């Protein structure tokens, strides 16, 4: 019963042996091949399949030996073309940093340098110090000294070169100087010159990559080299943003020089004269270009790429071959651009790919512009002023408490009996307010409810009095007529002309006689007075006078019905 | 036996299982011998548990037979079958949007400046890197399965496109939700989907034809899908609330019941109803909706026909724009209204769907007629599409999108879907 099985196994046994021998020989071949390949790597045949040559030819490559000939160096430039895994293949990076009045930024910059994960011995630093009024050179030297004398030799950098050259820049280096519209063209051309000086002297044949970096970067991933390099593009830039102080909003897109060309941009370029330089982010030039900075999705994939035409200079990683083959930072108007933007355009023209990473962000520092500085000074001033003011207010409050009696509670308890005697009937015929509105006098709901009931009763009374009011209307009209036009025009003084009880009524029920009264100003002024007055010397006569005055005014209102009654209950 | 259905079959192991015994004791001939005994035991155990008749070939005198209808086997098979049925039935989205929303809001509130991991799967792969610059016009891979879809959804995405201002976090996420929604819908019903780029450009600025990309895009799509029958334009701020409804069931199979040919029933613009030479017997080639302010082109159908091409050409006519662009507040919508008002040949082929059929509004749009049930999305009637039109004018786009996404998920998930989600 096991026979069929065992025969299968027997069969498989014979098959197995052949298979095993086959696998073994393939394995041996692969090993041999890999060995050859790796040794060829040692001799820098690293791009075995990358180049288009017949790869057998690679093994026959002739390497002249000049070791014994002094002063002769041999470089096979095919070996320095830049690999996407350069940190594993010992690709050397030329790290270019233009410096000008940068002493304050250097500590932060060297902090970034030290934490970088790319093998430090493969990074050659090149600095161009130009037109500096501060001690940029001194600070730079001291930082370099500490960097290169570190205990851990792996932390030291490769070659370091410092160049000094003044370009005689007229434009100031403050934020507003650098970013004003008029300054842009000449400034960019000058900076392009500086970059070209630096790049051309610093680039050695053994560099595979060139990295341009501004010194004023605040935060930056430590793996930035690898992150940019592994895309394997000829020119690549990250997105550059900057943090902002709270009063300006939290963050802001910073580097608007990275963009894609648009139809509108090309039309604009056509319309300008030969030497003009288009600069981004100024209303003078509407370019209609999609900007890398504006395409950032904080939750997006940092690997995502976006093709670009112009690029910004904060952090550019490019293969050395781009510069070797002639691309550079045009110090003239190339397609109506200069410096880094033109470098992007020029490189694209030369069929190199230029990409940006919209969701991979490097944070530039925040430098306040002149306006921002002004605003910040103002804010500091304001803060001081507010402090002062609050102190004064505290003092005044104390004085006030001592100097005045608080009778608000008394008023609250007594006002019922006072308003009780005021005839509110004039409210009714106009029909714009009803009892519900009146109840708004009260703050707490119980009182409110009570007053609502009370007001309803009053409304009934008002109905009864309506006829009487109508009868009085004609008479009142005659009396009130001469006073009437003066009141709205005079505004504040108007209440002062009537007797004190009348003032109470005026303040309490916002006389319809003054529909055009400016923003409750007289009411505000008179309320404490008016509120206090009736309590102290209120007698029946005065209240009756108030009643009559109210009736008169109401009668006047009837005559003037198209104007709405604005019943202002803010007695308290 | 029944009680211990899921216990280890220890007793059976103790019984002399022939295969096991042989494989242990007997010689090197067996392939199984190359496997260590402990694993062999496990294999046999598994086989028994799954109900394979392991002992069948052994000597019958062992007195131990595995029944074919072993109760454990039945339970197991039933379990596996039901599991796979539910699994297949739940082939919708693998990621629940609401969990994504939660994660998104958590991140937004944390407000950190560091690099984050991408949220969800990237919905627009390589969209920005497409060298020929028609970045968003990619046909999705699934439409390759259906090379000539009869219905093609045109989704207008990437509004603004980072030209004049930052396309912010919220916009990106809304775009992702919206695109995923249409993708899932097109995939489910075998429609085509083409995502178009609405990047701001000079060509479509106010001096030229503000907002009239729509017409260019439609013409482009007609060239792209020459065999499609219908195109369904959708704005980005839309959400298909009933992904199960197919367009055929919802509209095209009952097109005559659904549509109005004249404006007698509903005429917010007071367009004159009579126009000479209109022939309402003709087929409809343009299905649009009307909201409180007139024609709404946030969601509409246009047939792939000569008539449509002619309409688009006339619509695009620059002379009209030159003459009227200061009058036409609603740009291309007003232009179409003008054409409908005056041209009999256009009127003959236009049909009006009720707004809520393909274009329900959230409360807040059409705020002047807030209580009119004809406009607003109604969960109980299971309206098909919600269009958050104008949500960026003083309303909360993100809040609305979040609300309708969660409503959509709540209405369309089954109880067992939770089993398959993270």
Q: How confident is the model at residue A113 (pLDDT cuts 50, 70, 90)?
A: very high
- Lowest-pLDDT choice from A315-324, A328-337, A400-409: A400-409
Q: Determine which of A254, A267, A278, A297 to mutate to test the interface with B (most B C-beta atoms within 10 Å).
A: A297
Contacts of B131 in chain A (CB under 8 A): 307
The answer to whether residue A296 scores a pLDDT higher than 50 is yes
Write the ipTM.
Answer: 0.72
Residue A327: both structure tokens together: 């691309």
Bridge-based pairing state of the strands A207-213 and A251-253: unpaired
Q: How confident is the model at residue B285 (pLDDT cuts 50, 70, 90)?
A: very high
Q: How confident is the model at residue A462 (pLDDT cuts 50, 70, 90)?
A: low
User: In the CATH hierarchy, which fold is given to the domain comprising A77-367?
Assistant: Spore Coat Polysaccharide Biosynthesis Protein SpsA; Chain A (3.90.550)
Bridge-based pairing state of the strands A306-307 and A354-364: antiparallel
Closest residue by Cα to residue B191 from B237, B248, B134, B136: B248
The answer to whether residue A60 scores a pLDDT higher than 90 is no
Instruction: Check: CB of residue B201 under 8 Å from CB of residue B217.
Output: no
**A147-171: per-residue pLDDT in tens?**
999 888 888 999 999 999 998 766 5
Q: Nearest Cβ partner of B115 from A10, A221, A291? A: A221
The answer to whether residue B6 scores a pLDDT higher than 70 is no
Q: How confident is the model at residue B113 (pLDDT cuts 50, 70, 90)?
A: low
Contacts of B106 in chain A (CB under 8 A): none
Instruction: Check: CB of residue A509 under 8 Å from CB of residue A551.
Output: no
- A363:B113 CB<8 A: yes
**CA B375 to CA B363: how far, in whole Å?**
9
Sign (positive/negative) of CA torsion A303, A304, A309, A313?
A: negative
Domain B147-354 CATH superfamily: Spore Coat Polysaccharide Biosynthesis Protein SpsA; Chain A (3.90.550.10)
Closest residue by Cα to residue A295 from A357, A219, A231: A357
Q: How confident is the model at residue A549 (pLDDT cuts 50, 70, 90)?
A: low
Residue A499: both structure tokens together: 């007797």
The answer to whether residue A216 scores a pLDDT higher than 60 is yes
| CB-CB neighbours of A517 under 10 Å | 21
Å between B116 CA and nearest CA of chain A? 6
Strand order, beta sheet including B286-291:
B192-199, B151-160, B230-234, B294-303, B286-291, B350-353
How much of chain A, in percent, has pLDDT values that exceed 90? 36
Angle at A493 between CA A572 and CA A560, to 5 degrees: 85
- A290:B119 CB<8 A: no
Q: Which residues share a beta bridge with A357?
A: A238
Q: How confident is the model at residue B48 (pLDDT cuts 50, 70, 90)?
A: low
Domain boundaries, chain A: 77-367, 375-403
Sign (positive/negative) of CA torsion B19, B21, B27, B33?
A: positive
The Cβ-side half-sphere exposure at A509, using a 13 Å CA radius, reads: 24
pLDDT of residue B11: 40
- Give chain B's count of helices (H) and strands (E): 16, 9
The answer to whether residue B194 scores a pLDDT higher than 60 is yes
pLDDT of residue A269: 92
The answer to whether residue A64 scores a pLDDT higher than 80 is no
B390: left (phi over 0), alpha (psi -120 to 50) or beta: left
Record the pTM: 0.65
Domain boundaries, chain B: 147-354
**B173-185: per-residue pLDDT in tens?**
899 899 989 988 9
Between A567 and A204, residue with greater pLDDT:
A204
Contacts of B119 in chain A (CB under 8 A): 299-300
Average pLDDT over residues A498-527: 41
Contacts of A263 in chain B (CB under 8 A): 201-203
**DSSP label of A520:** T
**B219-248: per-residue pLDDT in tens?**
999 999 999 999 999 999 999 999 989 999
pLDDT of residue B238: 93
How much of chain B, in percent, has pLDDT values that exceed 70? 72
**B12-41: per-residue pLDDT in tens?**
444 444 544 444 444 444 555 566 666 777
**B330-373: per-residue pLDDT in tens?**
778 888 998 999 999 999 999 999 999 999 999 888 877 777 88
**Would you call B216 an interface residue with chain A, using a CB distance cutoff of 8 Å?**
no
**Would you call B99 an interface residue with chain A, using a CB distance cutoff of 8 Å?**
no
**CA B219 to CA B214: how far, in whole Å?**
9
Between A496 and A27, residue with greater pLDDT:
A27
């Amino acid at each position: 019963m096991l026979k069929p099985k065992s025969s299968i196994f027997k069969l498989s046994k014979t098959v197995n042996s052949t298979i095993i021998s086959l696998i073994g020989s393939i394995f041996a071949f692969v090993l041999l091949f890999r060995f050859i390949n790796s040794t060829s790597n040692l001799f820098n045949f690293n791009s075995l399949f990358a180049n288009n040559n017949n790869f057998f030819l690679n093994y026959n490559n002739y390497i002249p030996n000049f070791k014994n000939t002094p002063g002769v160096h041999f470089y096979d430039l095919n070996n320095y073309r830049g690999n996407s895994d350069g940190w594993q293949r010992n690709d050397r990076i030329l790290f270019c940093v233009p410096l000008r009045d940068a002493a304050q930024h250097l500590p932060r910059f060297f902090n970034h340098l030290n934490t970088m994960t790319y093998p430090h011995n493969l990074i050659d630093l090149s600095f161009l110090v130009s037109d500096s009024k501060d001690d940029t050179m001194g600070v730079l030297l001291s930082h370099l000294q500490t960097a290169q004398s570190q205990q851990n030799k792996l932390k030291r950098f490769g070659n370091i070169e410092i160049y000094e050259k003044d370009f005689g820049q007229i434009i100031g280096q403050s934020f507003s100087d650098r970013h004003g519209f008029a300054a842009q063209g000449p400034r960019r051309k000058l900076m392009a010159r500086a970059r070209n000086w630096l790049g051309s002297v610093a680039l050695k044949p053994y560099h595979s990559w060139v990295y341009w970096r501004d010194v004023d970067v605040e935060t930056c991933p430590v793996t930035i080299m690898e992150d940019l390099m592994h895309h394997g593009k000829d020119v690549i830039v990250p997105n550059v943003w900057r943090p902002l102080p709270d009063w300006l909003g939290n963050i802001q897109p910073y580097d608007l020089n990275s963009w894609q060309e648009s139809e509108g941009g090309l039309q604009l370029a056509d319309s300008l004269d030969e030497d003009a330089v288009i600069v981004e982010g100024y209303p003078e030039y509407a370019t209609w270009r999609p900007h890398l900075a504006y395409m950032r999705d904080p939750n997006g994939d940092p690997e995502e790429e976006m093709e670009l035409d112009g690029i910004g200079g904060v952090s550019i990683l490019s293969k050395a071959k781009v510069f070797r083959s002639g691309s550079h930072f045009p110090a003239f108007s190339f397609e109506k651009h200069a410096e880094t933007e033109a470098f992007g355009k020029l490189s694209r023209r030369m069929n190199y790919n230029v990409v940006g990473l919209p969701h991979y962000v490097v944070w530039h520092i925040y430098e306040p512009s002149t306006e921002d500085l002004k605003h910040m000074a103002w804010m500091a001033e304001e803060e001081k002023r507010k402090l002062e003011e609050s102190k004064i207010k505290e003092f005044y409050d104390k004085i006030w408490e001592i100097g005045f009696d608080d009778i608000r509670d008394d008023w609250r308890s007594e006002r019922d009996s006072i308003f009780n005697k005021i005839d509110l009937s004039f409210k009714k015929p106009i029909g714009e307010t009803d009892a519900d509105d009146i109840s708004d006098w009260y703050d707490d709901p119980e009182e409110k409810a009570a007053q609502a009931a009370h007001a309803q009763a009053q409304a009934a009374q008002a109905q009864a009095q309506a006829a009487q009011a109508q009868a009085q209307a004609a008479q009142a009209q005659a009396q009130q007529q001469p006073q009437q036009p003066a009141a709205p025009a005079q505004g504040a003084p108007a209440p002062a002309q009537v007797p004190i009880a009348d003032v109470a009524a005026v303040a309490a029920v916002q006389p319809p006689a003054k529909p055009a009264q400016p923003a409750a100003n007289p009411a505000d002024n008179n309320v404490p007075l008016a509120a206090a007055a009736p309590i102290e010397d209120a007698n029946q006569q005065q209240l009756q006078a108030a009643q009559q005055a109210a009736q008169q005014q109401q009668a006047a209102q009837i005559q003037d019905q198209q104007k709405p009654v604005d019943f202002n209950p803010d007695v308290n | 036996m029944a009680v211990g259905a899921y216990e280890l079959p220890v007793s059976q192991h103790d019984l002399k299982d022939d295969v096991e015994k042989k494989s242990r004791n007997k010689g090197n001939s067996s392939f199984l011998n190359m496997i260590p005994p402990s694993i062999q035991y496990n294999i046999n155990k598994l086989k028994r548990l799954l109900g394979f008749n392991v002992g069948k070939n052994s000597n019958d005198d062992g007195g131990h037979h595995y029944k074919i209808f072993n109760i454990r086997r039945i339970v197991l098979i039933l379990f596996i079958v039901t599991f796979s049925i539910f699994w297949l039935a739940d082939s919708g989205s693998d990621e629940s949007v609401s969990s994504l929303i939660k994660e998104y809001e958590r991140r937004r509130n944390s407000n950190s400046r560091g690099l984050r991991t991408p949220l969800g799967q990237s919905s627009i792969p390589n969209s920005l890197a497409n060298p020929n610059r028609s970045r968003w016009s990619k046909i999705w891979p699934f439409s390759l399965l259906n090379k000539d879809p009869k219905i093609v959804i045109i989704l207008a995405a990437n509004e603004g496109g980072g030209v004049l201002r930052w396309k912010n976090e919220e916009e990106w996420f809304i775009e992702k939700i919206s695109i995923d929604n249409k993708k899932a819908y097109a995939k489910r019903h075998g429609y085509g989907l083409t995502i178009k780029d609405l990047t701001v450009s000079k060509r479509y600025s106010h001096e030229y034809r503000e907002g009239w990309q729509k017409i260019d895009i439609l013409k482009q799509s007609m060239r792209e899908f020459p065999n499609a029958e219908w195109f369904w334009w959708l704005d980005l701020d839309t959400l298909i609330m009933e992904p199960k409804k197919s367009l055929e069931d919802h509209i095209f199979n009952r097109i005559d019941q659904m549509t109005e040919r004249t404006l007698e029933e509903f005429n917010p613009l007071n367009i004159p109803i009579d126009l000479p030479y209109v022939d309402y017997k003709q087929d409809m080639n343009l299905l649009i909706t009307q909201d409180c302010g007139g024609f709404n082109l946030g969601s509409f159908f246009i047939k792939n026909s000569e008539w449509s091409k002619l309409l688009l050409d006339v619509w695009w006519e620059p002379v009209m724009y030159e003459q009227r662009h200061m009058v036409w507040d609603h740009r291309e919508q007003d232009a179409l209204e003008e054409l409908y008002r005056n041209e009999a040949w256009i009127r003959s082929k236009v049909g009006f769907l009720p707004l809520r059929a393909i274009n329900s509004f959230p409360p807040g749009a059409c705020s002047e007629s807030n209580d009119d049930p004809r406009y607003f999305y109604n969960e109980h009637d299971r309206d098909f599409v919600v269009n958050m039109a104008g949500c960026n004018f003083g309303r909360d786009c993100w809040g609305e999108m979040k609300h309708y996404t969660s409503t959509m998920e709540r209405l369309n998930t089954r109880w067992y879907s939770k089993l398959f989600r993270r």
